[in-house]
A and B are shown apart, each in its own frame.
Chain A
Amino acid sequence: MTDIVVKTVEELKSAPEEYREAVSKLVISHAINELYGAQVFDEPAIALAPNPYAKWLTCRVAMEEYGHHVRFKGLGTQIGIPEERMVPGPGKKPLSIFEFPLKTWEEFVAIKLLADLAEILQVEDLLHCTFHPLRNLARATMPEERFHAQFGEDFSAELVKTPEGKARLQAAVDEYWPYLPKFFGGSKSKNNEIFRKWKIKQRTNDEMREDFVKRATEVAAKYGLTLPEVRQAA
């Protein structure tokens, strides 16, 4: 471990190159994935939402996700990352989950229930980041991420009230769940090693993945849902 605390964007300029690069990679990753999430899932979900209450709630969620992108991009700009590196484009491979366009409202609810939980874990890991502008950004983002996961829980609770709704939601969980643990990156990720070396991030990808599977299993069980791996293991 290497002890360093960077309190301002100005101080980052004199931080070691490896530290600066690690911070940049993380900011780029968050900026791109927040934008993908908003474009691929949140925005199309507005049309699928069943009533104006759900539609406007989804509007707000979509805007907050765009807002997260704007925040990360804003920080990236401050630390000198060119804007084109922080938006989706050629040569930038999105996470595999973003390659499956949304088809139903139940899919969106499943994504909010589980994928936003994965987001919470990623943001949680930045709450003690040694680069304080990124730590502060994570702290500002966290309440909104928690609200998005709660959105998933609230609409899951609605859907499971009927056997048909529960079956549709379970089918959506079955479809999307296999892509989610990959959110946390490879077991032997060199990037993660560097993030932890500088205490930019705190946990290994495997530790986070394990925690995610545990928490996702618990939250799914609250609504009588099961996760594919859990069923296979039973």
Chain B
Amino acid sequence: MIFMGPLRIEVRTASWFAALGEPLTDGDRAEAKIYADTDEVQLVTSWPDAERFLKSPATLDWWEREETLRKELLARAEARHPERAFWTALTELTTEAGDLVHGKAATAAARMTGAAPASIHVAAGAASQAVYQLGVARMAGETASLFESKFRLFAAGRWPLGVAGSRLVLF
């Protein structure tokens, strides 16, 4: 049995999508610096603008970097735990998180208006991926990965949409 209790509590108590479009705080900027290694943060303030950015990004380099890191951590995590227990724990974590963040994304979309119905699923996919990535990192024994700061941005109600050049785009 793999103990994922602390992360499950963090997932349940996070302020998913509660600060979308709100002015940036010093805390957001500090977290963005840790996550994307940049001082430059571009704020997106509406769902249609977020959708436009996500559908035509300048580059997917940041995505590929995260994928490389995820695969590395996944290999380490798999080596540390029995296969069945590892995948069961990860599936349970992400399934529980998926339903929670989907509801939170729907609430945020209803509050702000203008979101395409599919975008609620997109937001839920992004948040669930962040939980999954952090779950893998923690199970690999890694407590200082960029997935920690990515999760903290989500937990603070933000949605990191991606990196364009030297800018982190934050909703």
Contacts and interface: CB of A to CB of B under 8 A. Distances in A.
- A, B from the same assembly: yes
A147 B121 contact: yes
Interface in A52-75: 52-61, 63-64, 66-67, 70
Contacts of B55: 51, 53-54
B60 interface: yes
Contacts of A56: 54, 121-123, 125-126, 129
B25 interface: no
B51 interface: yes
Interface string B37-55: 0000000000000010011
B91 A66 contact: yes
A88 to B, nearest CB: 12
Interface in B19-78: 51, 54-57, 60, 63, 67
Interface stretch (B94-102, B137-145, B149-157): B94-102
Interface string A163-174: 000000000000
Interface residues of B, number: 27
Interface string A20-60: 00000000000000000000000000010001111111111
A53 B98 contact: no
A67 B98 contact: yes
B122 A53 contact: yes
A53 B51 contact: yes
A63 B97 CA distance: 10
A151 B121 CA distance: 11
A57 B123 CA distance: 8
Given A52-B57, A55-B63, A64 B98 contact: yes
A70 B91 contact: yes
Contacts of A229: none
Contacts of B63: 52, 55
Residue from the set A59, A147, A154 with the largest chain B CB neighbour count within 10 Å: A59
A60 B102 contact: yes
B134 interface: no
B161 interface: yes
Contacts of A57: 118, 121-122, 125
B159 to A, nearest CB: 10
B98 A60 contact: yes
Contact of B118 (A52, A59, A63, A154): A154
Contacts of A151: 118
B124 interface: yes
Contacts of A47: 67
Contacts of B162: 52
Interface of A: 47, 51-61, 63-64, 66-67, 70, 147, 151, 154
Given A52-B57, A60-B128, A63-B128, 10 more contacts: A51-B56, A51-B57, A52-B60, A52-B162, A53-B55, A57-B125, A58-B125, A63-B94, A63-B125, A67-B99
